[in-house]
Amino acid sequence: MTTALIFVDSPVGAFGVEGTAAGVTRVHLPNQFVAPLDAKPAPVLRRAAQQLAQYLEGRRRDFDVTLAPLAGTDFQRDVWKALEEIPFGEVRTYGDVAIAVGRPLAMRAVGNANHANPVPVFIPCHRVVASTGLGGYGGGEAVKRHLLALEGVTY
């Protein structure tokens, strides 16, 4: 299958939605270099990029996108599933997510699983914060703050 990429502009930079006809395979955050691809995007990818644009404009709270099967360990997939359960406008700590996946001492491993999340925003790892503050984010603190602010959360 041919992989295509669509860029979605935002006030904090361009997000890249990458995928095939099978679904979204990756979301590239602003501040992450990604080379443009010339392939024509499949309808499923155009739909995902449209929904991301609506979210970034404050006009969407939930996503109905097709994700391609995501590669990850069992633990990573458990964490990603737990992230999908965090409602719009709410946050959880790394410790909360560790407890949710049955590994209460695995806060750092939860952070690593968040960092490995191939489809941020669609699987909302930005909703996970440190017990002492904002915590890290692959796209940088400004991007994480912006995404949380879109949902009415300030940090």
**64 catalytic residue (yes or no):** no
Catalytic residue among 68, 82, 107, 125: 125
Q: Which two tokens stand for residue 116?
A: 């490995």
Q: Sheet holding 4-8: strands in order across?
A: 4-8, 15-20, 23-28
List of residues 6+ apart from 120 with CB closer than 8 A: 27, 29, 126, 138, 139
* Token pair recorded at residue 95: 């410790």
Q: Strand, helix or coil at 19?
A: strand
Residue 81: count other Cβ atoms within 10 Å of its Cβ: 12
State the catalytic residues.
Answer: 125
